[in-house]
Chain A
Amino acid sequence: QKEVEQDPGPLSVPEGAIVSLNCTYSNSAFQYFMWYRQYSRKGPELLMYTYSSGNKEDGRFTAQVDKSSKYISLFIRDSQPSDSATYLCAMSAVSGGGADGLTFGKGTHLIIQP
């Protein structure tokens, strides 16, 4: 079983829809959770950073962490064609990943149809 599972998609939704992206993980030591957005031929860009369980909102983006279920989500409201990208979840047991770095999902390819 992989440490982090993420559906690779592609996930195609119409413009304006609410998008839900998810990851599950197996390591109960993970406490720090991140979502990155990666456009084609670009490096990953940090979108959201959360610690432990709970919700965090930033503009159209909401990150949720449920440590009891080992499940994290990213919601995008009022989705735009410019949101079309690959979304990577990442997590770690220590702040910043420490010497072990971050553990990533494979990424979900999201397509927002105009």
Chain B
Amino acid sequence: SQTIHQWPATLVQPVGSPLSLECTVEGTSNPNLYWYRQAAGRGLQLLFYSVGIGQISSEVPQNLSASRPQDRQFILSSKKLLLSDSGFYLCAWSVRRPEQFFGPGTRLTVL
């Protein structure tokens, strides 16, 4: 069966510091991978998605970036965090059709 991992689970970072969030999927090959952000009490905002190694599509221009160095690894990064980057970051995967399955999430607080 497939599983998806995210780490860290929680993170508190100062404004201007760098960020690296990691997502890995097990039990499937060549999945589509997604990064979402959810602000407190809000809906989901799609940030990036990837259909293969090195292929990244950005949905929202901002100070975040994503990379996919391996088939089942998806990384979300920032060089300098902003207060507005605080939120709940969810990684998701899909195969075949767009139904997506979500990881446990990373709660990021930028102070």
Asked if A pairs with B, the answer is no
